[in-house]
Amino acid sequence: MLITRCNTLSELNELASETIIHELQHNPKSLVCAATGNSPTGVYKKLTEKKENINTSGLRFIKLDEWYGLGINDEGSCEKYLHEHLFNPLGISNSQYIAFNGKTTRPEKELQNVDNYLDEHGPIDLCILGLGKNGHIAFNEPADILQPRAHLSPLSSTSLEHTMIKSTGEPIKYGMTLGMTDILQSKKIILLVNGSHKNAIMQKLMERKISTQLPASFLWLHANAQCFYCDNDN
């Protein structure tokens, strides 16, 4: 994994957005998996500011994860975030996007649909990730074993403290997520890490020790992964 250290958040957003645009210009029919949360927000804003450089008509998107219990239009849902920060500004239609519904009463069916889609249309061309404070990527939480495909994951106490869901009032205990194989089979991975609150976990990641207790450490095994890292809050 290539580490690109940035002096400021603005620099990170600029460099990461330019890398993403380069990838999308190289393959205008990319299958893109996009993270949600604080880390990618500035990057997505830059992408929308430069949207004249992106031909979105052939792009396809797949949902990385979702809070199980939140629906498409619920405040705090990953789906609502993606539509607000990425899909609507870029003009991405519903036909260009596959997701699992966090409100479903049949999660197994939703997850199987995503597996089937990746089996037919995958692998992911560009996977944009954030880094959890406990080292998770998507909702692949630290554990004795990691799941390869889309699954319902029990959420750690760290994940349940996430700002996205703190004010929802919903009794969320699980996350729907792509698995480690789905992520690691991506042709290009971009990991976005910013803020002083991520410094401790980033220091652990930099030890390059591969462990299921630090799911992000598996990105060291990927041949085309790049991390954009800013260790301050400015």
Q: Catalytic positions, please?
A: 65, 134, 136, 141
User: How far is 183 from 129, CA to CA, in rounded Å?
Assistant: 9
Q: What is the dihedral of CA 180, 205, 1, 12, to 10 degrees?
A: 110
The number of angstroms, rounded, from the C-alpha of 227 to the middle of its chain's C-alpha atoms is: 13
**Contact call for residues 224 and 191 (beta carbons, < 8 A):** no
Nearest C-alpha neighbor of 153 from the set 163, 164, 170, 138: 138
Q: Tokens standing for 200?
A: 């401790």
Residue 229 CA to residue 12 CA, distance in Å, equals 7
